[in-house]
Amino acid sequence: MRRLALLLPPLLWLGVVYAGSLLALVSQSFFRLDDFTGQVVRVPTLATYRQLLTPANVDIAVRTTVMAALVTVADVVLAFPLAYFMARYAPPRLKAVLTLAVLLPLWSSYLVRVTMWKLILAREGVLSWGLEQAGLTPLLDRLLALPVIGGPSLSISPIGAFLAFTYVWLPYMVLPIQAAIERVPRSMLDASADLGALPARTFRDVTLPLALPGVAAGSIFTFSLTLGDFVVPGALGNSSFFIGQAVLAHQGTAGNIPLAAAFTVIPMAVMAVYLLLARRVGAFDAL
């Protein structure tokens, strides 16, 4: 009984407030908006999902998912060596400094950091100016002229959104990977070497598989945070919508709660598929 009391507050919170609102949200997606009256028709229907599957909306979903995937890959590539260094090689003091450096950005407002990227990436921003000083403007122009990832300026292009996303979610990737690598006992690395494995082989066959749950945990953050975010593309001024912006627009100005709700189902479905795939490739085997 007393042990159950420990669970009660979080159960109430997660069970009622969280799961309840989630259920309400998902049920909204099975209603539809009457185009003439602008009222929500509370009769179960798949009409809203049909609307979700129009090319423009599918475009938004694909763009967001691809962005989330690329941001996740970039964060893994950046975070893994850093986390590995912090866990294995950094002496205590350097490790404290590096941990602080990873965490420090989280102390400032997320909006401030995103706005800062606007200042860096804008046409008149720091980066363009720097490239101009270096005589690399033609290179930037050629980059921005590329189809799909290009745009009028770095800030408005998908490249800009990619850079800002990769930056803001990086700490969420570094910390779980670092924790996972630190948890690998020294004796396991010794055992691998003892059995004849060269250091590279030990890394591939022991360290990497055991660090994978950390990578999976980090990627759940980076992936889901990108899928639902509307601040980064909004602040940078991207003209093509991401899922978060579509939800914001549909539930706000357009008042189309059912479609907004249907849009939120996409990240959930994508995450579910992602987690199943991660489990299939054995990302959680070492847990």
> What is the C-alpha separation between 224 and 202, in angstroms, rounded?
32
Helix, strand and coil in the chain, % to nearest 5: 75, 0, 25
Binding another protein by CB under 8 A: which of 161, 210, 216, 236?
Answer: 210
Q: Residue 135, interface with another protein (CB under 8 A)?
A: no
Question: Structure tokens of 123?
Answer: 């046409």
In this structure, which amino acid lies at residue 101? A
Q: Between 73 and 193, name the residue whose CB sits nearer to another protein.
A: 193
195 binds another protein (CB under 8 A): yes
Q: Which is nearer to another protein, 59 or 205 (CB)?
A: 205
CB 143 within 8 A of CB 159: yes
202 versus 224: smaller Cβ distance to another protein: 202
| Binding residue (CB under 8 A) for another protein from 187, 200, 253, 280 | 187
- Report, in Å, the least distance between residue 217 CB and another protein: 16
| Rg (the chain; Cα; Å) | 23
**What are the φ/ψ torsions at residue 40 (nearest 5 degrees)?**
-80, 125
Is 281 near another protein (CB under 8 A)? no
Q: Is residue 143 involved in binding another protein (CB under 8 A)?
A: no
What CA–CA distance (Å, rounded) separates 169 from 177? Answer: 13
Among 144, 175, 206, 236, binds another protein (CB under 8 A): 206
3-state secondary structure at position 32 = strand
- 179 is a site residue for another protein (CB under 8 A): no
Q: Which residues bind another protein (CB under 8 A)?
A: 185, 187-188, 190-198, 201, 205-206, 209-210, 282, 285-286
